[in-house]
Chains A and B, each alone.
Chain A
Amino acid sequence: KQEVTQIPAALSVPEGENLVLNCSFTDSAIYNLQWFRQDPGKGLTSLLLIQSSQREQTSGRLNASLDKSSGRSTLYIAASQPGDSATYLCAVICGFNKFYFGSGTKLNVKP
């Protein structure tokens, strides 16, 4: 069974700092990997989707990488801002249509 782990569980950084969030998964047979942002009391917002054949995706200040063979993905956030404060979740898609989520990294960016 696929297990997804996110480290760290919580992170607090000063505004402007570059940071990396980590996601690891136990079974490398994935179709793709998706990073989400979750704000309190709200649903999940998709940030980036990396197909299994890709190694990275970029959107603005966000860059996500994928190393299937080692079972790892990272989300890099450049020049962090207080508005980036949220919980970040990664999810892998396996077995055609099954999604497995990590428990998230709660990010706090201090002004």
Chain B
Amino acid sequence: EAQVTQNPRYLITVTGKKLTVTCSQNMNHEYMSWYRQDPGLGLRQIYYSMNVEVTDKGDVPEGYKVSRKEKRNFPLILESPSPNQTSLYFCASRPPGLGAFIDNEQFFGPGTRLTVL
């Protein structure tokens, strides 16, 4: 089944304890992205990657790191989590297409609910 998977789905941690949220897709998509969703603010893009070893900042990259060493995986790293990073996180991927990525739909993972105490 074609899908985007995220792990863990739920995580409660404490301030300053490094954590990684994994994201994997089995659709051979080149484009992957991370978002956070907060009440009243909608989804905001954190980082995106257009291919292996190519990453770029979205709207809210502060406090986050990403890496793209393989096409299928795009982990989100919080080196020193803080309470303001408590949120619902989504990973997404999209296939390449004509017109350089502009024509294709994004597919989302199920989300990771993170609480930082």
Contact = CB atoms under 8 A, between A and B. Distances in A.
Interface in A69-110: 89, 91, 93, 96-104
Nearest to B45: A99
A4 interface: yes
B103 A103 contact: no
B74 interface: no
A42 B31 contact: no
A34 B111 CA distance: 19
Interface string B81-117: 0000000001010000000111111111111000000
Contacts of A101: 35, 42-44
A66 interface: no
Nearest to B44: A101
Given A91-B106, A101-B43, 4 more contacts: A44-B90, A49-B103, A99-B35, A100-B45
